[in-house]
Structure 1
Amino acid sequence: MNPAAVILCFSLVYGTCKGARYEEDITIIGAGIGGTYTGWRLRNKGLRVGIYEYSDRVGGRMYTRRFPDAPDLPIEFGAMRLLPEEHLRMMKAGNELGLHFVPFNEGLGKIPNRTILFYRDTHMTTFELGGTHTPYSLRPEELRNPVDLEQYLSETYSNYNGTDPKTELFTAVTHDGVPLYQQSYKELIQKTGISKEAYNYIIDSSLFHDDVFDTQSILRFPRSRKNTTPHITTSRLPPVVTVSEGMDSFPKGFMKQFTSSNPFRHRYFRNRQLVKISRSKRGKLKLKFKRTRTINGKTIRTKRSFKVYTRNVILALPKVPLQNIRMPVSSNARFQSALNSVTDVKASKIFLVYDYAWWLYGPMNFTYTHSDLPYRQSFHWGISRTGKAILLISYADFEDPLFWSQLQQRGKVISKRNDDTRVTDQVVKHAHYQLSKVYNINFTHIPKPVDGMMFVWEMYPFKGAWCVWKPGSRWYDIKNFLTKPFLFNNIYIVHGYWGAEYRTWGEATLKAADDVLSYFKLSSYLT
């Protein structure tokens, strides 16, 4: 083996080789979809590139697991679906990686004939919502489908048209002349004068709660007027798809091709946390790392450290880890303001495995449910070739994940593993009780699950499953600034947190990566 390689390996793995000075052309921090895609696109440039990951897992928020009893049905704790018409980079990359796109049967939720709704102890179909059966004390003008109600509010109380969203989102105003982007959704709704019952109706019927309170109103309120030109579909695929191999096949596929394309110049190091960026006497960026350890899914920092010297550093990280890195410019007010323009949103998913799909055999055999109860949404995930059935029994965000997180700490573990994805009998008890009301069956008639896994996006380094913009944020200005926030430092940021067009989706991160890669003379992936 090359002696230099031995020194490199010993120094980085054990952090004890004082004399070695390891230099890279580009150092990427984070092995999620953004970091791995960035390395993948740089794989043929002949550069020395390293990717460093805080945990022991490639994927970030693309987090796929499998049950031993149903190995052919990957479950997704993070990203689980794609929109072929909009996520063009993801679709192109998936095809290049050899992945297989298949329909995501529940789409974006609330598909008629597949859905039962349950609000205020009342069962409804999607066709009944907004009719006389709606269990809210609404005024006559409010008694309509919530989508139509919000359309009415947008058209009545703002001048937004939707013909040029990129511009209009930041120029449109409410009837009192205040720009939409400067207001929270809650503030704006109160200005419309609708009843409190109508506001509760909008909240309860929303699939997610991240954008109905104090977040920026333009995430939700503006609706294109009905006379605008409709979108023309060009894809031959269904409107919503997933990947049969699992969504983490994207980052894992990127990483595999990145490392294999040049094993001597492309390296991946797990369990490394970047804690400081400074400038060396030679003008290179000096990166200080701490070694970490991951045990049963939980990652902790150790005292052992090492240094890497680099010409460029690309930070493919969410907000909180970025804020925790010490760097000469970290006190820059504009930089901190840009990072703080978004708020993390907690979310949780609970998957249970059963001997049969009991939810398909009762009086209400619907494959998707939505409710004002803490479980919020449930999805028929599928029936394995082994005969076992998987139910995504709860998908919740905002305030409800705390409820499930607390239950995860109580009771007896029923899962076949006791790591950070464990499920307890208390989780099962409360989930079954809520679903028994929705499916209108006796609580005791729901069979015991044979296995379960859950995940709550609340721990470091993520602190949330996605993010939302705060009022007053000008998306495109912030996004462009954060791409390369410091003129005289080769520090770049790649993350969909501050994406504009494709907020919260993987596509936003790939777009952010393409913007950074333009500094390295790489054209857009879509070119």
Structure 2
Amino acid sequence: MTLITLGILLVTAVVTASLIATSLPMQFSATILSKTVVNAEVPSDGDCLDVAVIGGGIGGAYTGWRLRDRGLSISVFEFSDRVGGRLFTAELPVAPGTYLDFGAMRFKSGAHPTLNRTATALGLNIIPFELGYGNADETIWYNRGKRMRNTDLGTTNIPYNLQQGEANDPDMLLWELFKNNVNITDTYPSLEDLFFLSYPGDTGSSEGYKTIAGGMEKVPRTLMEKFLEANTTHKLHLNHQLTRMERRQTGGYNLRFRKTQTVDGVTTPVMTGNTGLTMCARKVVLAAQKDAIQQIDFPEFKNNPEIRRTIDSVEGFPAGRIYLAYNTKWWKTGNPDITHTKSDLPNRQTYDWSTGTNNVSIIMASYHDGDFTHYWRELSQFGTPIPGSLPGVNAVTDVVKNRVEKYLSVIYNVSQSDIPETVGGAMMLWDRYPFSAAWGYFKAGFDERKVRDMIYKPSPSDHVYIVSNSWSADDLQGWAEGSLIAVDAVIQKYFIE
């Protein structure tokens, strides 16, 4: 959906900054704004919230939804003007009927049972994720200047000078390494088997990747909508950044916020006028990434070396995506059955994404991570937005477009001069506060199980909890499921009395 500039909301005598709701339906936007609190006096003990949730991504929205019917006064505080966090969906106007997912774009119903159950309970339309892995030979691999397909593995068609036995399928090579170097003689479990071992209550089988019709952002948006509808005491504070937490002598916490403003997707602090807000809460749930949590001034965390070390136990990896729109699917020329590519070039992966109702087609021209994100960030500082590009933080410049087309031409074996002019584009880089990373990994020397036991409630004497996939098990650090599991664990252990 297009970026919609919302009118100025008046609450008592206070005028908020204009809120720009990215890809939120009008009906949902009105629901949120009608329950958004802009400012308040310093609260008395009797005005304390039961629960303050910091972060309006899927973790924060799911926390509110799980606690919605318990008779608690709950407020969610979000840094930006948008609900969803890294579940971010937008519509490209030049290709109506298409939805671009900039963060989470899919899940597995068997391996991610909590998300599957939640989406079902919300009445969302779960559909197959058709892009990639639909058939055995739909992927082009372009590495070290050579192209190949999956069916080339193990044959004389593989374009590398490999010894006999080295040209096998990578899974077979991994199995040989495993079998020859450990004292396990049986087959080792697949990643999905490991998920089933982790969640023995789930008896589903692999059904391939799934997604949500209309984009993955519908999950947190709908969670937040249901949370707000459940009780008149439930509130959502957009454009508020938590800067400090302090214990109150009478119990609970004073939460000090500064107001922010969002323009074209870029959120910055409001530096003039009365920009502060202090709220009181008996319990605080931090539904945020590691780097964002580390920037909160909370003496009970900052002055405890063990807590600081535990929070810093993971290393984040930035990531990003670039979408380009064309009047023709030029990348299908000579490659009619290819939907997915992988390469060692800076755009790493591509997907034949979708086609609008006006036959304008979109390719995910880059799906990259790590240092390549910094590469694209640097390039994005040059040039001017291309025609049809989303604005602001999601803009694609002509410099970015030309560079990514250079890589696409090599991967798809099409002359760059034969690539038609784009009619639109959009991009998102997850490398800056409050999302300094798209996923993470545990640093060496940490027992992740012990970390999770502590991270949910770092300070035994405080009612402050962390729900985030930053410290999730295995590769759930890169999936929404990790955040939902963390929320469930905290609620089960600390909110059920």
1:118 aligns with 2:142: yes
The CA distance in 1 between the partners of 2:43 and 2:134, in whole Å, is: 61
Residue in structure 2 matched with residue 507 of structure 1 by the alignment: 481
SS state of the match for residue 460, structure 2? coil
1:45 aligns with 2:70: yes
Superposition pairs for residues 86-101 of structure 1, below 5 Å? 86-101=111-126
Kindly tell me the number of residue pairs found equivalent between the two proteins: 457
Residue in structure 1 matched with residue 291 of structure 2 by the alignment: 320
TM-score relative to the length of structure 2: 0.85
Asked whether the equivalents of residues 151 and 223 of structure 1 are also in contact (C-alpha less than 8 Å), the reply is: no
Asked whether the equivalents of residues 110 and 207 of structure 2 are also in contact (C-alpha less than 8 Å), the reply is: no
Residue in structure 1 matched with residue 269 of structure 2 by the alignment: 301
SS state of the match for residue 274, structure 1? strand
Among residues 58, 69, 75, which one is paired with 2:83 in the alignment? 58
Asked whether the equivalents of residues 119 and 135 of structure 1 are also in contact (C-alpha less than 8 Å), the reply is: no
Cα offset, 1:516, TM superposition: 0.8
The CA distance in 2 between the partners of 1:522 and 1:9, in whole Å, is: 39
Residue in structure 2 matched with residue 492 of structure 1 by the alignment: 465
Asked whether the equivalents of residues 276 and 287 of structure 1 are also in contact (C-alpha less than 8 Å), the reply is: yes
CA deviation vs aligned residue, 1:363-411 (integer Å, no higher than 9, x gap):
5651111111111111011122221111101101112122222221112
Among residues 237, 250, 254, which one is paired with 2:223 in the alignment? 254
SS state of the match for residue 226, structure 2? helix
Cα offset, 1:139, TM superposition: 5.0
Unpaired stretches in structure 1, ≥5 consecutive residues: 166-219
Q: 1:470 to 1:126 in 2, by over 3 A?
A: same
Residue in structure 2 matched with residue 154 of structure 1 by the alignment: 178
For 2:353, give the aligned amino acid.
W
Asked whether the equivalents of residues 7 and 20 of structure 1 are also in contact (C-alpha less than 8 Å), the reply is: no
For 1:333, give the aligned amino acid.
P
Residue in structure 2 matched with residue 277 of structure 1 by the alignment: 245
Residue in structure 1 matched with residue 24 of structure 2 by the alignment: none
Superposition pairs for residues 179-194 of structure 1, below 5 Å? none
CA deviation vs aligned residue, 1:180-206 (integer Å, no higher than 9, x gap):
xxxxxxxxxxxxxxxxxxxxxxxxxxx
1:329 aligns with 2:330: no
Cα offset, 1:357, TM superposition: 1.5
Q: 1:520 to 1:358 in 2, by over 3 A?
A: same
1:145 aligns with 2:169: yes
Asked whether the equivalents of residues 54 and 78 of structure 2 are also in contact (C-alpha less than 8 Å), the reply is: yes
After superposition, the CA RMSD in angstroms is: 3.0
Cα offset, 1:161, TM superposition: 7.3
SS state of the match for residue 359, structure 1? helix
The CA distance in 2 between the partners of 1:140 and 1:42, in whole Å, is: 59
The CA distance in 1 between the partners of 2:140 and 2:246, in whole Å, is: 56
SS state of the match for residue 476, structure 1? helix
Asked whether the equivalents of residues 106 and 379 of structure 1 are also in contact (C-alpha less than 8 Å), the reply is: yes
SS state of the match for residue 353, structure 2? strand
Residue in structure 1 matched with residue 441 of structure 2 by the alignment: 468
The CA distance in 2 between the partners of 1:520 and 1:294, in whole Å, is: 34
Asked whether the equivalents of residues 161 and 223 of structure 1 are also in contact (C-alpha less than 8 Å), the reply is: no
SS state of the match for residue 456, structure 1? strand
User: Which is further off, 98-107 or 36-45?
Assistant: 98-107
Asked whether the equivalents of residues 43 and 279 of structure 2 are also in contact (C-alpha less than 8 Å), the reply is: no
Cα offset, 1:164, TM superposition: 9.9
Asked whether the equivalents of residues 155 and 223 of structure 1 are also in contact (C-alpha less than 8 Å), the reply is: no
Asked whether the equivalents of residues 23 and 309 of structure 1 are also in contact (C-alpha less than 8 Å), the reply is: yes
SS state of the match for residue 299, structure 2? coil
Q: Percent identity?
A: 32
Residue in structure 2 matched with residue 243 of structure 1 by the alignment: 212
Residue in structure 2 matched with residue 73 of structure 1 by the alignment: 98
The CA distance in 2 between the partners of 1:89 and 1:258, in whole Å, is: 18
Asked whether the equivalents of residues 313 and 442 of structure 2 are also in contact (C-alpha less than 8 Å), the reply is: yes
Residue in structure 1 matched with residue 343 of structure 2 by the alignment: 371
Residue in structure 2 matched with residue 171 of structure 1 by the alignment: none
Q: 1:151 to 1:392 in 2, by over 3 A?
A: same
Cα offset, 1:362, TM superposition: 3.0
Asked whether the equivalents of residues 43 and 278 of structure 2 are also in contact (C-alpha less than 8 Å), the reply is: no
CA deviation vs aligned residue, 1:56-76 (integer Å, no higher than 9, x gap):
110011010111122322110
Cα offset, 1:133, TM superposition: 4.4
SS state of the match for residue 325, structure 2? strand
For 1:293, give the aligned amino acid.
Q
Q: 1:308 to 1:102 in 2, by over 3 A?
A: same
1:288 aligns with 2:313: no
The CA distance in 2 between the partners of 1:516 and 1:162, in whole Å, is: 37
Unpaired stretches in structure 2, ≥5 consecutive residues: 1-10, 17-35
TM-score relative to the length of structure 1: 0.80
Q: 1:503 to 1:152 in 2, by over 3 A?
A: farther
Cα offset, 1:140, TM superposition: 4.5
Cα offset, 1:77, TM superposition: 0.5
SS state of the match for residue 63, structure 2? helix
User: Which is further off, 471-480 or 341-350?
Assistant: 471-480
Among residues 349, 352, 369, which one is paired with 1:397 in the alignment? 369
CA deviation vs aligned residue, 1:76-135 (integer Å, no higher than 9, x gap):
00000010111111111111111111111134x595221111112211111213544445
Cα offset, 1:361, TM superposition: 3.0
For 1:54, give the aligned amino acid.
F
Q: 1:102 to 1:241 in 2, by over 3 A?
A: same
